[in-house]
Amino acid sequence: MSAPIDTLREGAAALGVALSGRQAEQLLAYGTLMLKWNKVYNLTAVRDPAGVMTHHLLDSLAVIAPLQRQYPEKGKLLDVGSGAGLPGVIIAIMRPDIDVSCLDAVAKKAAFVQQVAAELELPNLRGLHARVELLEGSYNVVSSRAFASLPDFFNGSKQLLAPDGVWLAMKGKNPSDELAGLPPEVAVFHVEQLVVPGLDAERCIVWARKDPV
């Protein structure tokens, strides 16, 4: 059986992502922290190291190359309904040029992200405890991972997306039924299929921006 670092590196390479030694260490440390906190706080349903590797670390790493293509410059990202920090923490580790705020309505989950930021020395990461509808600010990228239906996600966060910003919504299979019910001010410009190493499940990213109409 290969060591976790090898599984991580091979998976990242398959996703087109190059990991520095420090990034690999931070990702594995994050997975360890998640398992440790899970014993006390119910952060995630995945409770074994192999599951954390595929369902959390590699699954979230799958957005890094697409994000680099869609948003290569520095800026601010809001991860809505971030839970234990997915994919926000992974983005913060891989994109130090992006300030990442992980938003969750559950205080202990936001506190966990703050702990991760401190322990992994990630100055560009913070946990926010609030409801998305009540938050203020402007973000270049607003992301979510299986947070809610697409109409709810777009409606709840549209006041937070910068005029030229993009939404990054991670979903399982192509959510054609949800796409049919989007508000008119949301323009989906790409549904990108993902293949996650070791994960036998469909994944995609729904990319959208505000329609200027």
Q: 109, 142, 104, 102: which is closest to 126 by C-alpha?
A: 102
- Residue given tokens 């054609």 in the structure block: 176
The rounded distance, in Å, linking the Cα atoms of 88 and 101 is: 7
Q: Give the global pTM.
A: 0.95
The rounded distance, in Å, linking the Cα atoms of 82 and 142 is: 11
Q: 87, 183, 185, 177: which is closest to 141 by C-alpha?
A: 87
Flag whether 126 is marked binding: no
Count of other CB atoms within 10 angstroms of residue 213: 6
- CATH of 62-210 among 3.90.180.10, 3.30.470.10, 3.40.50.150, 3.30.565.10: 3.40.50.150
Flag whether 63 is marked binding: no
Count of other CB atoms within 10 angstroms of residue 10: 14
Flag whether 127 is marked binding: no
Q: What is the Cα 18 distance to its own chain's centre?
A: 18
Q: If you average pLDDT over residues 10-21, what whole number do you get?
A: 95
Q: If you average pLDDT over residues 4-29, what whole number do you get?
A: 95
The predicted structure's pLDDT at residue 191: 96
Write the pLDDT tens digit of every residue in 179-192. 998 989 999 999 99
Flag whether 11 is marked binding: no
Q: 85, 202, 207: which is closest to 147 by C-alpha?
A: 85
Flag whether 131 is marked binding: no
Write the pLDDT tens digit of every residue in 50-84. 778 888 899 999 999 999 999 999 999 999 999 99
Q: If you average pLDDT over residues 87-116, what whole number do you get?
A: 97
The predicted structure's pLDDT at residue 212: 74
The predicted structure's pLDDT at residue 163: 94
